[in-house]
């Protein structure tokens, strides 16, 4: 849901010989995950909001038997299959994503962050633990990193426990329910085994340009397919956020603030108006010319457009599949309570 800090990738590109990865990153085109900008918590509200959001697991429905395919988006399934059929992709990934590269990324992130635990920022630790419990998955390590850029991202390192990094500016800007939805989104990547694929896609897309002779050709041919998969994976993880938030307006509010929120006007934003905007986008892009512009607009993005994500999560919140998941969880909870 968010991108690896540029410093990590630049550090990789500066290494000679075995780590000679070219870097082609821009701030408006993250290679995986995404960045968030949320409404601020007004003075005097932080404590009340925190108390109202922490300890929600007891009252929320938990999905004790949840499987990743229960909520995986169809496009995620389809594009994962297509990605795995690309000849030589796995071998190329092993060459690019080696032990040294993984270790650099690991140390660069945890060396500049604070590890959250029961004794360190315990409220954030509880938000992550509750989200993991609801999704029936193991909670990864959670790190808070000082940064003025609101961001959150997941890293899955082979043979090591995966971890999520959240920037301090993100914690300051969002409500606790929104923060937990973001954590749930990151957990969705891990629940669906996106973590390693996300890291792999990131290094492959950025590093393949430095492979002598074939680098540019390889990257150009894979980039569109990788980004198509990344966009589909984001739709799946938005569903994970909804399963934890259990209120589509919370997830849609996150997407709305991502599109155009700012602290001074956060309390004036309207979810229903944003959904109407999403429908108007669908209508405006339904013509042949609109369809062409829409595809050109999204082809090189690692994330779907916020209005499209909002419409997708609104549709899924009304679907039989989502309601069936909730009903199944409620029935299991009732049986366990007898």
Identified catalytic residue from 108, 130, 186, 223:
186
Which residues touch 105 (CB under 8 Å, ≥6 apart)? 4, 8, 12, 155, 157, 199
Q: Among this protein's residues, is 186 annotated catalytic? A: yes
* Of 319, 253, 334, nearest in space to 62 by CA: 334
Q: What sign for the dihedral angle of Cα 148, 149, 154, 159?
A: negative
Annotate 196-233 with b (16+ C-beta within 10 A) or e (fewer).
bbbbbbbbbbbbbbbbeeeeeebbeebbeebbbbbbbb
**CA distances, 22 to each of 126, 182, 226 (Å):** 39, 30, 17
H helices of the chain, where? 6-13, 46-53, 74-84, 89-96, 99-110, 122-134, 168-173, 176-191, 194-207, 215-245, 248-260, 271-284, 288-298, 306-317, 320-337
Report the distance separating Cα 153 and Cα 162, nearest Å: 11
- Structure token pair of residue 188: 């969705």
The strand pair at 163-167 and 152-155 is best described as: antiparallel
Q: Could you give the residue numbers annotated as active site?
A: 186
């Amino acid at each position: 849901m968010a991108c690896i800090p540029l410093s990590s990738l630049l550090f990789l590109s500066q290494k000679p010989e075995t780590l000679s990865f070219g870097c082609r990153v821009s701030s408006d085109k993250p290679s995986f995950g995404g960045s968030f900008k949320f409404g601020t918590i007004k003075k005097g509200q932080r404590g009340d909001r925190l108390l109202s959001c922490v300890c929600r697991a007891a009252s929320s429905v938990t999905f004790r038997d949840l499987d990743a395919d229960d909520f995986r988006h169809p496009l995620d399934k389809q594009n994962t299959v297509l990605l795995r059929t690309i000849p030589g992709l796995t071998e190329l990934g092993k060459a690019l994503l080696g032990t040294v590269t993984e270790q650099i990324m690991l140390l660069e992130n945890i060396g500049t962050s604070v590890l959250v635990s029961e004794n360190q920022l315990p409220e954030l630790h509880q938000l992550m633990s509750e989200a993991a419990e609801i999704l029936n998955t193991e909670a990864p390590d959670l790190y808070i990193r000082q940064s003025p850029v609101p961001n959150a991202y997941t890293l899955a390192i082979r043979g090591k426990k995966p971890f999520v990094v959240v920037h301090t500016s993100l914690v300051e800007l969002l409500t606790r329910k929104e923060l937990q939805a973001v954590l749930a989104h990151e957990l969705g990547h891990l629940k669906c085994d996106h973590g390693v694929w996300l890291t792999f896609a990131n290094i492959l897309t950025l590093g393949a340009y430095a492979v002598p002779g074939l680098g540019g050709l390889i990257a150009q041919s894979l980039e569109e397919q990788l980004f198509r998969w990344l966009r589909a994976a984001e739709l799946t993880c938005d569903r994970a956020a909804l399963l934890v938030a259990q209120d589509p307006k919370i997830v849609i509010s996150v997407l709305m603030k991502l599109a155009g929120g700012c602290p001074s006007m956060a309390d004036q934003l309207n979810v229903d108006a944003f959904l109407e905007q999403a429908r108007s986008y669908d209508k405006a892009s339904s013509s042949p010319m609109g369809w062409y512009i829409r595809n050109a607009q999204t082809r090189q993005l690692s994330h779907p457009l916020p209005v499209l994500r909002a419409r997708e999560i609104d549709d899924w919140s009304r679907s039989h599949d989502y309601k069936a998941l909730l009903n199944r969880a409620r029935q299991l909870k009732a049986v366990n309570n007898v």
